[in-house]
Each structure stands twice: as C-alpha cells, then as structure tokens.
Amino acid sequence: MLFSNATSRLNQEVKSLGIDGLFDHIVNTSEVGSIKPEPEIYSYALELGGIEAEEAFFTDDHPEFIEPAVNLGWSAHVFDGVPDLRASLIDAGVL
C-alpha cells in the first residue's frame, strides 16, 4: 500500500512511472479528506487494506507521522536509509 500526503495528481504520476501495479491500494490523503498525522487516515488505511493494526508496518521520513501509527498499534520505522529500514522490516517479521 502506498500511503501519501500527496496532491490529486498522485494516481496519474504513479501510473505514468509504471509502478501502479506494485501497490494493492493507494491511500492519497488529498482524496480521503484526512492527512498524516491525523489518526483517521491511519484507520482508513487499515480498513482499506482489510488488516488489523498489529499486522501493519509503516515507514516515513517524518517522525511526527510515525507516532500516530505506533499509538494505534502499528510497527513503524523512521526512514533514514535502506539498511536500517531492512533491519526494521526483518525485526517486524515483514521480511
């Protein structure tokens, strides 16, 4: 799932890059009416994905966007590079 505070052009941009098939769902906050870090958008993403909070892993390069996910029970990681992200994904059982 792609989860972004993006503009209304996100879906077209993802498609033009040829990466739209990489995502089961795209949560574009400009279409939902709630933005990160509002808890409602995180709950919407869980519902859309059909998963429980304990099954979710979230990464973002903004620490203030990580906190709501953690508060809702998600595993999360502040992105600061691929090696640390990979380690967090392994620790969370995603990889």
Structure tokens at 35: 């933005």
Q: Which domain holds residue 27?
A: 2-91
User: What is the pLDDT, as a whole number, of residue 87?
Assistant: 95
CATH of residue 29's domain is 3.40.50.1000
Q: Which pair of tokens denotes residue 67? A: 């906190």
For the chain, how many structural domains are there in total?
A: 1
Instruction: Look up tokens 């972004």; give the residue.
Output: 4
Given the structure tokens 């979230």, which residue do they identify? 58
Strands 57-60 and 75-78: parallel
6 SS3 class? coil
Provide mean pLDDT across the span 47-67.
95
pLDDT given for residue 81 in this prediction: 95
pLDDT of residue 38: 95
Secondary structure element (H or E) that encloses residue 43, with its range: helix 39-49
**Within its chain, how far is the Cα of 37 from the centroid?**
11
